[in-house]
C-alpha cells in the first residue's frame, strides 16, 4: 500500500513539520536558513543511505531519514513563509499609506473592509510582502471599490489583538494565515482612490467580469433573496446573504451551497466532461478534451475570485485531469495527497483553514466509503439508482467531514441526507440554468425567461431548506469535540465501517475498545464539570461581564444591553461555554443587592457600581478578596478603603485609559495589586482562591 502512495507518506511527515513549527514557538526562535541547511544535510544522508543500503532488513533507516527530511522541510517552509510576511516595520500609531486592494472588498453594517498591499508610507518605502486589513467607513464611494484598485489612506494602524477570553476565536492567528500583519482604521474622507491601470492583471480582469455578470443577473429578473443566493452559488459572492437565511442553511446541513466550493467545481467538471465527451472520438481527443476542461475550470476559479475553497478543489481535480490525460494507472489517495502537498508548499498556513480541513476530509470520506456503500445495494431502476448514488455521496462526505465540522461549529444537522438529496439536484439546475443565462445574456427575451425560471428554482431551494430547518430536532447543538475526541470518532467510524460494511470480524475488538474510550471520556468530563466552581471576569469590549460558575450553571452579571441581546456574547464566550458545558443565566449587574457586595466560594467580592456615590466609613471593615471595578467613572480607592479591606483590584475591559491610569497610580501608593483584563485577558478565580488569567498566573 505504501509503495503505491509515496505522497501519502511525504504529506504526513510534512504536516508534522508544519505543526511542530507553529505549536512550539519555532516561528520566532529559529532561522529558516538553519532548517534549510538541516534539510540539505538530511537529503544528502538519504541519498547516501539509498545507494549503500540495499538489504530489506535495513530499509527502515531509509524511511526514517526520509521522514526526518520532510519533517524538516515542513518546518523550513513554514518559517520561510512566516518570516517573509513579517516585514512591515511601522512604529507610528497613525500612518499615511498608498497601496493596492488585493481582495474583494467586503461590505458590513458599518464599514467596507479589504486587504491592502502597501507600496509606501509617509516616510520610508515598505516591502511588498506584508499586508494590512483595512476598514473604511461605509458610504457610496467605498462601496464602489474593486479588487486591483489603488488607494491612498490616512488612519490609525495597530496589531491584531490576540484572544483575551478562554477558547475565543484567534482572529490574529487567522489573519496571519492570510498574510495580514496589521489593522488600519480610516475615518471619513481620509482616503482617496489613485489612478492606476490594472487592465493587464489577470485576477483584476476576472474581477471586472464577475461584477458585470452580477449586474447581468439583476437585469434579468433576480432580485432580493433570489439574487443574493444566485450570486453566492454561481459566482461566490456571498457577502449579501442574510444571517437568518445562512442560519437556516446551517441548520439544514446545506450551508456549503452558499459558497463556491468543491461541490460546485465537481459539478462543473462533470458537466464539462459530458459536454466535451464527443471529442474523445477524434485523434488526440482525450488530450484536447482534458486541456479544455482544465482551462475552463481555472477560468471559473479566477471568475469566482480564486477563493481558497475553489483553489483547493481546482487543484485536486487538475491532478485527476492530468492523470487521465496521461492514461496511466494512478492511486486516488496518492493524487489527493499530492494536491494537498503542493498547496501546503505554496502556503503551509492553509493547514489551519477550516475550509481546507473540511474539503480534504470530505473528499477522503468519499474515496474511502462511497464505492463499498454504493455497491452494498443493487438497484435496477436508473432513476432510483441515481438517487441512491446521491445519498451515498452525501453520506460518505458527511462521514469524512462531520467530526471536524463539529469541532469548529459545535453543530450537527440531523436531516442532512434529506436536505442534500434535493439540494444536489437543484444545484445542477441552478448552475446549468445560471451559466446558460450568463452565456446568452446578449440575446433578447430568452435571458429574461431563464432568469424567471432560475428565481423560481431558488425559491424552491430556499423553501426546502427552511422546511428542514424548522423540523423538530433539526440540529444537535453545543457539541464539544476537542481534537482528542475527533481522532477517537474517526477511529470509531473506521472500525465500524470495517466491521459492518467490509465484514472484517477482527475489527470488533478495536471497535468495542473505541466505544469504551468514548464513554470513559464523556463520563470523566461530566464528572469534572459537575465539580467546577470558579468566578470569571471576562474581557468583553464595551460591556462588563462577570461569571459565577457552579457545576454546569453560570450566572452572568452584565449590563442591560447584553440582557436584551445575549447573542452579542457569542463571539467571545460561546466556545468556552460549550467546553465547560455551561447553561447561562443572565442578570443585570445594576440590580445587585447590598450595593454590589457578593459572596462566592467563601470569599467576599465587591462589584464596583459607578452609580454608587457614597461609601460609609465602618469601624469593622468588610474583608474582600477583590474589588471588580467597572464603568467609565473614577471612584477613589482611598474612599473605598474606609469601608473595605482589599489587596486586589480587577479592572474590566470597558474603561477609559485615564481612569485606568489614575487607579493604577493610586493603587501603587496603597500597595494594592491591579489586574487589567485588557492586558491579561479574562481572569479566573478558582475555588482554591488562586487567580488565573490567559496570559499570566497570579498567586
Domain boundaries, the chain: 6-85, 94-198, 353-414, 483-530, 533-698
pLDDT tops 90 at residue 514: yes
Determine what percent of the chain is predicted with pLDDT higher than 70.
88
| DSSP letters for 224-292 | HHHHHHHHHHHH---TT--HHHHHHHHHHT-GGGGS--HHHHHHHHHHHHHHTGGGGGSTTHHHHHHHH
pLDDT of residue 89: 55
| DSSP at 632 | S
pLDDT number for residue 14 = 93
**pLDDT for 633:** 78
> What is the model's pTM?
0.82
pLDDT (0 to 100) of residue 92: 60
Count of beta carbons in the 10 Å neighbourhood of residue 400: 24
Question: pLDDT band at 614, cuts 50/70/90?
Answer: low
pLDDT at 343: 87
Report pLDDT digits (tens) over 34-80.
778 888 888 888 777 777 766 666 677 777 888 888 888 888 888 88
Q: Which three cell numbers stand for residue 477?
A: 447543538
Burial code of 82-92, b = ≥16 C-beta within 10 A, e = fewer? bbebeebebee
Position 367 confidence tier, pLDDT thresholds 50, 70, 90: confident
| CATH 2.40.50 is held by the domain 94-198 | yes
Q: Which three cell numbers stand for residue 5?
A: 502512495
Q: What are phi and psi of 132, to 5 degrees?
A: -130, 130
Question: Which pLDDT band holds residue 125 (cuts at 50, 70, 90)?
Answer: very low
Span 403-459, pLDDT tens digits: 998 898 888 888 888 887 788 788 878 888 888 888 788 888 888 888 889 999 999
Lowest mean pLDDT among 566-575, 611-620, 657-666: 611-620
**Count of CB atoms within 10 A of residue 461's CB?**
23
Alpha helices in 479-532 (DSSP H): 483-500, 508-530
The pLDDT of residue 699: 37
Between 374 and 83, the more confident residue is: 374
Q: Are the C-beta atoms of residues 156 and 94 closer than 8 Å to each other?
A: yes
For the stretch 477-510, pLDDT in tens is 889 999 999 999 999 999 998 888 888 888 899 9
CB 373: neighbour CB atoms within 10 A? Answer: 19
Look at 12-21, 209-218, 541-550 and tell me which has the smallest mean pLDDT: 209-218
Amino acid at each position: 500500500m505504501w509503495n503505491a502512495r509515496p505522497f501519502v507518506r511525504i504529506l504526513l511527515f510534512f504536516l508534522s513539520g508544519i505543526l511542530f513549527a507553529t505549536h512550539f514557538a519555532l516561528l520566532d526562535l529559529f532561522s529558516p536558513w538553519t532548517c534549510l541547511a538541516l534539510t540539505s544535510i538530511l537529503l544528502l544522508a538519504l541519498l547516501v543511505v539509498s545507494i549503500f543500503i540495499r538489504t530489506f532488513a535495513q530499509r527502515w533507516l531509509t524511511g526514517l531519514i526520509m521522514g526526518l527530511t520532510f519533517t524538516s522541510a515542513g518546518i523550513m517552509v513554514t518559517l520561510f513563509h512566516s518570516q517573509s510576511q513579517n516585514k512591515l516595520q511601522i512604529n507610528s500609531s497613525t500612518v499615511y499609506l498608498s497601496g493596492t486592494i488585493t481582495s474583494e472588498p467586503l461590505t458590513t453594517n458599518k464599514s467596507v473592509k479589504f486587504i491592502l498591499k502597501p507600496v509606501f508610507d509617509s516616510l520610508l518605502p515598505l516591502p511588498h510582502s506584508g499586508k494590512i486589513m483595512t476598514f473604511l467607513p461605509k458610504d457610496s464611494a467605498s462601496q464602489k471599490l474593486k479588487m486591483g484598485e489603488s488607494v491612498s489612506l490616512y488612519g490609525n494602524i495597530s496589531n491584531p489583538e490576540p484572544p483575551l477570553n478562554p477558547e475565543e476565536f484567534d482572529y490574529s492567528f487567522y489573519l496571519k494565515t492570510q498574510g495580514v500583519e496589521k489593522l488600519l482604521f480610516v475615518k471619513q474622507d481620509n482616503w482617496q482612490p489613485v489612478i492606476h491601470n490594472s487592465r493587464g492583471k489577470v485576477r483584476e480582469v476576472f474581477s471586472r467580469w464577475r461584477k458585470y455578470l452580477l449586474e447581468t443577473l439583476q437585469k434579468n429578473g433576480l432580485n432580493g433573496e433570489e439574487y443574493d443566493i444566485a450570486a453566492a452559488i454561481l459566482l461566490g459572492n456571498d457577502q449579501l446573504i442574510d444571517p437568518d437565511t445562512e442560519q437556516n442553511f446551517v441548520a439544514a446541513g446545506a450551508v456549503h451551497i452558499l459558497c463556491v466550493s468543491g461541490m460546485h467545481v465537481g459539478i462543473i467538471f462533470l458537466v464539462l466532461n459530458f459536454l466535451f465527451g464527443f471529442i474523445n472520438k477524434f485523434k488526440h481527443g482525450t488530450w484536447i478534451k482534458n486541456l479544455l476542461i482544465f482551462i475552463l475550470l481555472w477560468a471559473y476559479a479566477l471568475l469566482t475570485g480564486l477563493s481558497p475553497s475553489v483553489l483547493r478543489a481546482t487543484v485536486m481535480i487538475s491532478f485527476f485531469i492530468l492523470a487521465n490525460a496521461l492514461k496511466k494507472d494512478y492511486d486516488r489517495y496518492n493524487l489527493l495527497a499530492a494536491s494537498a502537498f503542493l498547496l501546503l508548499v505554496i502556503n503551509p498556513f492553509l493547514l489551519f483553514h477550516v475550509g481546507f480541513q473540511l474539503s480534504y476530509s470530505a473528499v477522503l470520506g468519499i474515496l474511502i466509503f462511497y464505492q463499498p456503500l454504493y455497491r452494498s445495494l443493487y438497484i435496477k431502476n436508473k432513476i432510483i439508482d441515481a438517487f441512491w448514488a446521491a445519498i451515498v455521496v452525501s453520506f460518505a462526505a458527511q462521514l469524512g467531514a462531520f467530526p471536524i465540522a463539529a469541532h469548529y461549529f459545535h453543530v450537527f444537522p440531523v436531516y442532512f441526507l434529506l436536505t442534500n438529496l434535493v439540494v444536489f439536484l437543484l444545484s445542477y439546475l441552478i448552475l446549468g440554468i445560471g451559466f446558460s443565462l450568463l452565456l446568452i445574456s446578449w440575446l433578447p427575451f430568452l435571458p429574461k425567461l431563464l432568469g424567471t425560471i432560475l428565481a423560481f428554482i431558488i425559491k424552491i431551494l430556499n423553501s426546502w431548506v427552511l422546511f428542514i430547518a424548522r423540523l423538530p430536532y433539526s440540529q444537535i447543538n453545543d457539541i464539544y469535540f476537542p481534537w482528542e475526541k475527533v481522532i477517537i470518532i474517526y477511529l470509531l467510524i473506521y472500525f465500524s465501517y470495517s466491521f459492518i460494511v467490509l465484514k472484517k470480524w477482527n475489527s470488533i475488538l478495536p471497535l468495542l475498545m473505541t466505544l469504551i474510550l468514548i464513554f470513559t471520556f464523556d463520563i470523566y468530563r461530566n464528572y469534572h464539570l459537575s465539580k467546577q466552581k470558579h468566578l470569571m471576569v471576562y474581557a468583553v469590549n464595551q460591556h462588563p461581564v462577570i461569571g459565577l460558575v457552579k457545576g454546569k450553571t453560570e450566572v452572568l452579571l452584565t449590563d442591560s444591553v447584553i440582557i436584551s441581546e445575549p447573542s452579542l456574547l457569542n463571539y467571545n464566550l460561546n466556545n468556552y461555554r460549550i467546553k465547560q458545558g455551561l447553561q447561562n443565566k443572565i442578570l443585570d449587574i445594576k440590580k445587585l443587592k447590598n450595593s454590589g457586595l457578593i459572596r462566592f466560594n467563601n470569599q467576599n467580592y465587591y462589584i464596583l457600581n459607578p452609580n454608587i456615590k457614597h461609601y460609609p466609613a465602618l469601624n469593622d471593615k468588610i474583608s474582600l478578596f477583590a474589588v471588580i471595578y467597572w464603568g467609565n467613572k473614577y471612584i477613589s480607592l482611598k474612599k473605598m478603603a474606609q469601608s473595605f479591606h482589599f489587596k486586589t483590584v480587577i479592572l474590566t475591559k470597558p474603561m477609559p485609559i485615564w481612569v485606568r491610569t489614575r487607579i493604577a497610580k493610586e493603587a501603587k501608593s496603597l500597595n494594592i495589586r491591579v489586574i487589567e483584563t485588557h492586558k491579561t485577558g479574562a481572569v479566573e478565580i478558582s475555588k482554591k482562591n488562586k487567580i488565573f488569567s490567559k496570559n499570566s498566573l497570579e498567586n
